Amino acid sequence: KTIVLLPGDGVGPEVVREARGALERVAELFGHSFAFSEHAIGGIAIDEHDDPLPQATLDACSKADAVLLGAVGGPKWDDPKRKVRPEQGLLGLRRGLGLFANLRPVRVHPKLAAASPLKTDKVEGVDILFVRELTGGLYFGQPRLREKLESGKVRAVDTLEYTDEEVRRVVHLAFRLAEPRKKRVTSVDKANVLESSRLWREVATEVGAEFKHVALEHQLVDSCAMRLITAARSFDVVVTENMFGDILTDEAAVLAGSLGLLPSASLGEGTRGVYEPIHGSAPDIAGKDIANPTGTILSAAMLLRHSLGLTREAEAVERAVDEVLSSGARTADIPGAGDALSTRAFGERVR
């Protein structure tokens, strides 16, 4: 099995190193052999190759069984007027590999519920699986341009577009993922204002009719943003448009107490996927060996499950993380961490 590592920028290399360590430990314990290769993406790829997604990187990812990514971006490349920006590497990879679904589980670890900014009784037992559409919507719709009008005004345009097929495949996946869970899908849109949302809602309703045993509810994105705080436990699987998903998943991530804890998987038609923690490159703490590797290690577990079909192995990694957290071990990002472990020391405990 071949796994491409894309450490990227900021804390990316540090957390990917620990996740690789966890995968190597799995290989050792379960008698597998994983071939790793490392490639450039994001800011470092701009510096080295003038391209946030060099062809060699995309080629390697297209051939690999799975991709494990750290993070991209940082103040060095942050000027939005730059023609070439780190995020383009990430967006190009998602699009290039056809990864139309971004899975973001938000589970609150019982021992960490107290670290949440929300009252403990609001977050205990929260277990949401977000399925964010990832290759369409406002992120990729055409036209996207800036132009000078005759009046002298400047006009900028982005386009939110979906075909019924694009909606169908991601909603379908959400329903399949809900089946072994609590069998509830919340489809989030803004159907009282947007054309694309009305299409989204219709298609979601059609797909829902195929899944007799899974309940479907529709919710407007603004009320969903509220309910994530007032009643997060009431969600099971949440499926939504790319931009809405970007906002809602970050909002929900806060419930868990630290962004550093949360993994993600970006999937397409086959089993290939890109796995990455949901936190960014965190340039302020890069190179200090204090970043939390949990999100990346749990992303590696998702990789084992979804791309390599190694369920037992995935569970072993998740159990290891769970036990380490239950033992009270903490990195410095967790509120009230006290005597915090380094990135390396935390990774070592998990191994």
Query: What number of other Cβ atoms are within 10 A of residue 301's Cβ?
Result: 26
128-164 in b/e form (b: 16+ CB < 10 A) is bbbbbbbbbbbbbbeeeeeeeeeeeeeeeeeebebee
Binding string, residues 53-82; x marks residues near ligand IPM by CB under 6 A: ------------------------------
Q: Binding site residues for Mg(2+), as ranges?
A: 222, 246, 250
Cross-strand bridge partners of residue 240: 132, 188
User: How far apart, in whole angstroms, are the C-alpha atoms of residue 130 and residue 235?
Assistant: 9
User: How far apart, in whole angstroms, are the C-alpha atoms of residue 306 and residue 139?
Assistant: 25
Active site residue 47: no
Active site residue 189: no
The DSSP secondary structure of 91-109, one letter per residue, reads: HHHHHHTT--EEEEEEE--
Q: Binding site residues, as ranges?
A: 74-87, 94, 104, 132, 222, 246, 250, 280-292
Cross-strand bridge partners of residue 215: 184
At position 244, the amino acid (one-letter code) is: F
Pick the piece of the chain touching ligand IPM (CB under 6 A) from 30-38, 83-91, 160-168, 318-326. 83-91
- 306, with CB counted inside 10 A (0-12, 13-18, 19+), is buried
Of the two residues 28 and 147, which places its CB atom closer to its own copies in the complex? Answer: 147
Options 127, 158, 246, 322, the catalytic residue: 246
Residue 176's binding partner among ligand IPM, its own copies, none (Cβ under 5 to 8 angstroms by kind) is none
* Residues making contact with its own copies (CB under 8 A): 73, 80-81, 85, 87, 91, 117-119, 122, 138-139, 141, 144-146, 149, 153-165, 190-202, 221-223, 225-226, 228-230, 243-244, 246-251, 253-254, 259
Residue 129's binding partner among its own copies, ligand IPM, none (Cβ under 5 to 8 angstroms by kind) is none
At position 246, the amino acid (one-letter code) is: D
Q: Please pick, from the candidates 84, 157, 193, 231, the single residue that binds ligand IPM as defined by CB under 6 A.
A: 193
Active site residue 190: yes
Pick the piece of the chain touching ligand IPM (CB under 6 A) from 84-92, 118-126, 290-298, 309-317. 84-92
Closest CB 98 distance from ligand IPM, rounded Å = 16
Active site residue 275: no
Query: What number of other Cβ atoms are within 10 A of residue 19's Cβ?
Result: 31
Active site residue ranges: 139, 190, 222, 246, 250
Contact residues toward ligand IPM (CB under 6 A) are 87, 90-91, 192-193, 222, 246
